Amino acid sequence: MLPTILYLTTGVLRELAPKGATNLPPVISAALQCLKTLCSSPLCRDPRCSAGWIKHLQSTLATIIEYSQPGQCLYHMELVLLCKTIDIQPRLQHEH
């Protein structure tokens, strides 16, 4: 189920990320909150599944970073969104 949730969440970010806006729409804030919640999940610390859980989350973060690279992908996310997404990374590292 985690890969599906992450796929849908990154799809929301990819398709609805505003261009040139400094304020993020509520749907983008909700998608980022979803990622933060998943990064804070107890499953990140559960030895039975933490390796796979973290691998999926890191892959999702890499995908979001890829979307923000001009010329590297069909999609271009604004720097504001990228910075808010990268804020999730330290949470993930501290949990593992």
Query: Residue ranges of the domains in the chain?
Result: 61-96
Tokens of 87: 């804020």
**Number of Cα atoms under 13 Å in the Cβ half of residue 28:** 21
pLDDT of residue 4: 94
Return per-residue pLDDT of the chain as tens, 96 residues. Answer: 889 999 999 998 888 876 666 677 888 889 888 988 888 888 888 889 888 888 998 898 888 877 776 665 545 556 556 666 666 655 555 444
- Angle (CA) 52 55 56, round 5°: 90
Q: How far is CA 48 from CA 5, 39, 51, in A?
A: 20, 16, 8
d(CA 8, CA 21) in angstroms, rounded, equals 22
Tokens of 69: 């690279």
